[in-house]
A and B are shown apart, each in its own frame.
Chain A
Amino acid sequence: EPEVTQTPSHQVTQMGQEVILRCVPISNHLYFYWYRQILGQKVEFLVSFYNNEISEKSEIFDDQFSVERPDGSNFTLKIRSTKLEDSAMYFCASRGPINDYEQYFGPGTRLTVT
């Protein structure tokens, strides 16, 4: 069964460093998403991406964040200068055609900023 994959599973970085989190969505999906879950808190929407551009973003998704689909298969989330409060689990999700309501989630990347 096709699935969304994410790498790495765990990333440790120092405050101020740039990180790139990678996702490979399901191959025929058209819509892509990033979410984060700070430890002990709920899952929060960050951004949605369709047709090579951001379609919606939350207040959390400020200028420190960017997304890219560099090669037609990967979908990346970049944090330019990490802060301690960026420590969280980051989930990627993808969705198929316009009438398919289900988002398929990856296993997540745990980001620890020290």
Chain B
Amino acid sequence: AQSVTQLDSHVSVSEGTPVLLRCNYSSSYSPSLFWYVQHPNKGLQLLLKYTSAATLVKGINGFEAEFKKSETSFHLTKPSAHMSDAAEYFCVVSDNLDKIIFGKGTRLHILP
């Protein structure tokens, strides 16, 4: 069975400082992993995806994530936070393409 744990429900960082949103997963097979972002009153937008190619994945808006099989982690990072990054972020795991499992989400707050 697959599952995903987002370790922090809220993260606050100052504008211009690094962002780290943590995600651990459990999967029976080689999973596909995704990060989605949800801005207030908006739909879900794909930030990046890992599908068994390079372990360091670059996404949109300067975000990237590293797949670490030994740690079963897929943490999302960004070197320098921007005010527009304030949103809810979801880590997602999939063993097969027909069913994806969302984490509970991490709300990112950006302090001026």
Contact = CB atoms under 8 A, between A and B. Distances in A.
Interface in B1-52: 32, 34, 36, 42-46, 49, 51
Interface residues of A, number: 25
A75 interface: no
For chain B, what secondary structure do more than half of its interface residues adopt (helix, strand, loop), or is it mixed? strand
A41 B104 CA distance: 6
B98 A48 contact: yes
Interface string A54-66: 0110100000000
Contacts of A56: 98-99
A84 B97 CA distance: 31
A25 interface: no
Interface residues of B, number: 21
B100 interface: yes
For chain A, what secondary structure do more than half of its interface residues adopt (helix, strand, loop), or is it mixed? strand
A106 B43 contact: yes
A56 B100 CA distance: 11
Given A42-B104, A42-B105, A105 B99 contact: no
Given A101-B32, A101-B49, A102-B49, A43 B90 contact: yes
B87 interface: no
Interface string B73-112: 0000000000000000010001001111111110000000
B98 A103 contact: no
B44 A105 contact: yes
B7 to A, nearest CB: 14
B76 to A, nearest CB: 16
B87 to A, nearest CB: 14
A107 B98 contact: no
Given A41-B104, A56-B99, A98-B97, 4 more contacts: A45-B100, A48-B98, A91-B43, A105-B45
